[in-house]
Structure 1
Amino acid sequence: MPRNYLITGGAGFIGSNYVARLLQRGEQVIVYDNLSRAGAVRNLAWLRKTYGESSFRLVQADVRDSQSLQEVAQEADVIVHLAGQVAVTTSVVDPRTDFEINAAGTFNILEAARLSGRDPIVIYASTNKVYGGMEEVKVKELESRYAYVDYPFGIPETFGLDFHSPYGCSKGCGDQYTRDYARIYGLRTVVMRQSCIYGTRQFGIEDQGWVAWFVIAAVKRLPITIYGDGKQVRDILFVEDLCDVYDLAIEHIDLAAGQVFNIGGGADFTISVWEEFGPLLEKLLGESIPVKRGDWRPGDQRVFISDIRKAQEVLGWKPKVGVKEGIQRLFEWVKTNQDLF
């Protein structure tokens, strides 16, 4: 029997990919989005063209609107909360708006779920930024990347929280509220502390979505600036694998409720920001890519790799799309759809 899904940020990169999956299998979907992000209107047009004009219901509204959220939550069996302010740099410039969207907006979601009387499942897209700059973690420098000295599998969920930057604070606030609503109110919530997610339908910009931004900039011959030395390492996760873990958490909510999961490519799917990614991108493009160099940005971790073993053990989830395959798929999508950028 189809479930009723409420997807906040449903016209965004992750949201539109997950909505497409839900529509494909016949679920009832409400897309809740204020359409402020670049690409949101284009993603909506793609969803309507692919699945039909009336395949989903659009509520054009903001997560700061608690009344609107309470109304739509009356229909939801599952709420996947993806809407948010997503850039660290933007949060530094305008911390109040960042707080109102990420912290207060998530609180509005949780209250709407609690007051709905439907006991909905709530999936919250948190971030690895809740672990802060992680300056105390020992890192070694290799030829093309940095590496952890003491965390061969990556950073586990038990690692201490240290909200660095207004963005880290606002997302961390939502993270902890989501976790606590399971403890205090019995709400079936799941926190996904996501690493670098990338894939098709991602309209990356310099401040957010770096994998997509580098691909878009390379294909469009736009200037690229590398901040730091380019040896920073991230575990990257293709969006289809992220959608898989959402599905598994919902399917196994009896095990997942109240839990926090680090979700990324893990130790097997990592790449350094430019020293390794640059040559791979140049090979796909068939030419060298000139770049500018800039100073390190505040809170930029030398390494972040998620320890994803908890999600593997509890949910039976493991990423499937390797780094080279995923980047090639993204590259081909951007190359084929240059008119969208």
Structure 2
Amino acid sequence: MSAGSVDRRSGVAAPALSGKTAAILVVGGSGFLGCNLADSFLRDGEKVIVLDNLSRAGVERNLEWLVDNHGGAVEAEIANIRDLAAIEPAFKGAKAIFHFAAQTAVTTSLLQPVDDFETNARGTLNVLEAARRAGRRAPVIFASTNKVYGALAGLEIEEAGDRYLPADAVTRRYGIGEAQPLDFSTPYGCSKGVADQYVLDYAKSFGLPTAVLRMSCVYGPRQFGTEDQGWVAHFLIRALAGEPISIYGDGKQVRDILHVSDAVAAYRALLTSIDRFHGRAFNLGGGPDNAVSLAEVLHEIELLTARRLRTEKCDWRAGDQLYFVADTRALADALGWRPHMGWRAGLRDLHAWLLQDWTEVSKSRFQRRTRRVTA
């Protein structure tokens, strides 16, 4: 099948991705994951359009970092995805679109549910409409979240030392798969879940080559972590600053943390194979080999920093999952993708970046409001 032709079995146009004259559009490209993905493409000689409203503390430094390293290959468009007319021009010549822009905090969604909806749900619909109206059939790959599965209240859990584990042996071995029913609890889960489903439906209804990655906790360099989002980096930043760390719950909740380099590899692999996997949603995380409790991460940070951490226990938060580990077998089978960075090595990498760029990390901390979110 030639590039740009229509696969008659699906009715979805296969995207023409060859050549480097057209740009790749990264929506939310100044954010943590967006800037790392943009940097990856730029290092390969691609042109990248970064579309961002620069609302999150620290992201303007990520944009400066991209421009300093790649110069004119980076085009910055400062606009809000809530404004369709403002963002449409950036889509006109894009050959591929990655959508990371979002309101990322569960607790913020509880305080400001309308704003949460306008950004995550309506903003994503605007991204899809801008892509559709551009008429290029450019692939759209969306960063969703494991929160679309809800709090997993029906998952039977056992305590095992300093962590929670599923009672079911299969789930314990492989994690939570895509067959898990969606459960849009909390406004954040609802808004991201709506966006998730709209992205998939645009493949069915309009023939747009779209796909979704439902992410677990991603961490690594360029992450200005807060209690709102980016808890691994937030823990390490607080430790380096000699400040107490708030733990919501008992610290035994388990997450499969994924280094950003492995996340970038997954997004790129999915783009390469979008003609075969459009309209699909995949779980993306570190998997069982990188499943750790908050308590285990804190202990490793103590070893890294050679200092005893001060922690403060707080009440459990709405929608918090005792256990979420992504079953990534579907993604591995489809794309041959597997995480390569173990969580301890990944923490060392993040630690090294924080020490190297501590001045800019410190500056970002003065710009943000104090917030609280789910890990």
The question of a shared fold, defined as TM-score above 0.5 by the shorter chain, is answered with yes
- Show CA shifts across 1:124-181 (max 9, x none): 0000000001110111111010011221201111110001110000000000000111
The equivalent residue for 1:196 is 217
CA shift at 1:278, angstroms? Answer: 1.4
**Residue 270 of structure 1 pairs with residue 291 of structure 2:** yes
Correspondence for 1:293 among 313, 323, 328: 313
- The AA in structure 1 aligned to 2:338 is K
Equivalent position SS for 1:268 = helix
Inter-partner Cα distance in structure 2 for 1:28 and 1:257: 23
Inter-partner Cα distance in structure 2 for 1:71 and 1:201: 27
Correspondence for 2:347 among 321, 324, 327: 327
Inter-partner Cα distance in structure 1 for 2:307 and 2:88: 52
Inter-partner Cα distance in structure 2 for 1:178 and 1:121: 11
- Show CA shifts across 1:45-98 (max 9, x none): 11122222x221100000011012222211111010000100001111100110
The equivalent residue for 1:72 is 90
The equivalent residue for 2:356 is 336
- Show CA shifts across 1:262-304 (max 9, x none): 000011111101x211111001111111111101111110000
Equivalent position SS for 2:26 = strand
Q: Contact 2:46–2:73 at 8 Å: present in 1 too?
A: no
**Residue 17 of structure 1 pairs with residue 19 of structure 2:** no
**Residue 114 of structure 1 pairs with residue 135 of structure 2:** no
The equivalent residue for 2:165 is 147
CA shift at 1:237, angstroms? Answer: 0.5
- The AA in structure 2 aligned to 1:260 is A
CA RMSD of aligned residues (A): 0.9
- The AA in structure 2 aligned to 1:288 is R
Taking every aligned residue pair, what percent have the same amino acid on both sides? 47
Correspondence for 1:95 among 113, 117, 130: 113
Q: When the two structures are aligned, how many residues end up with a matched partner?
A: 339
Q: Contact 1:6–1:79 at 8 Å: present in 2 too?
A: yes
List, as ranges, runs of 4+ consecutive aligned residues in structure 1 with deviation greater than 4 Å: none
Q: Contact 2:200–2:211 at 8 Å: present in 1 too?
A: yes
Tell me the TM-score normalised to structure 1 length. 0.98
Tell me the TM-score normalised to structure 2 length. 0.89
Correspondence for 1:50 among 60, 69, 89: 69
- Aligned 1:187-336 pairs, distance under 5 A: 187-273=208-294, 275-336=295-356
Inter-partner Cα distance in structure 2 for 1:61 and 1:222: 35
CA shift at 1:240, angstroms? Answer: 0.7
- The AA in structure 2 aligned to 1:142 is A
Inter-partner Cα distance in structure 2 for 1:83 and 1:123: 12
Inter-partner Cα distance in structure 2 for 1:301 and 1:83: 23
- The AA in structure 1 aligned to 2:275 is D
